[in-house]
Amino acid sequence: MSEKKSVLIINRTAPYGSSNAREALDVALTCSIFEMPVSLLYTDDGVYQLLNDQNPGAIAQKNLQALLSSLPMYDIDQIYISETSANDKELDLSDLSLPAQVVNSTEIAKLIQSHDTVLTF
C-alpha cells in the first residue's frame, strides 16, 4: 500500500463573506477521514478565522467555531499562523480559538515544500 499524501491547506480569506473558510475546513476533515496528514496555515485575512468569540449571526452566517473545535478529534493538530499576518492584523495570540504555531516566511516556504499537495482558499 502506498504512503498517504500530505496536504497543506492555506487559508487566506476572511472567515465570512464567502464560502472559502468553510470549504477549506470541509476539505481538511475529508482528507483526515482518509488518513491523509493535514496541516493548516492561516495567513492574510485568514488569520481572522482563528479568533475566539465570533458572532456572524449579525450577517446571517454560521459560526466556524464548531468546525474548528472538531479539528483535534480528526487528528488535525498541525496548525500554523503567519507571523507577518498576525503582526499586521495586531492579533493577540491568546485570542485564538486553537493553538497555532507562529511561522515566518522562511518557515512557510519550507512548509509548502514539505507537503505533497498544497491547496489555497
Q: Does residue 1 lie within any of the structural domains? A: no
**Spatial distance between the Cα atoms of 39 and 81, rounded to a whole number of angstroms:** 11
Per-residue pLDDT of the chain (121 residues; tens, 9 = 90+): 458 899 999 999 999 888 999 999 999 999 999 999 999 999 999 999 999 877 766 666 677 888 898 999 999 999 999 999 999 999 999 999 999 999 999 999 999 999 999 999 9
**CATH code of the domain containing 97:** 3.40.1260.10
Indicate the number of domains in the chain.
1
Q: Does residue 101 lie within any of the structural domains? A: yes
**Spatial distance between the Cα atoms of 100 and 12, rounded to a whole number of angstroms:** 15
Instruction: Give the other-Cβ count within 10 Å of 49's Cβ.
Output: 29
Residue 5 DSSP code: P
Question: Would you state the cell numbers that stand for residue 96, as one nine-digit string?
Answer: 485564538
Residue 50 DSSP code: G
Q: What is the pLDDT of residue 1?
A: 45
Q: Does residue 98 lie within any of the structural domains? A: yes
Q: Does residue 30 lie within any of the structural domains? A: yes
| Structural domain of 80 | 7-120
Q: Does residue 2 lie within any of the structural domains? A: no
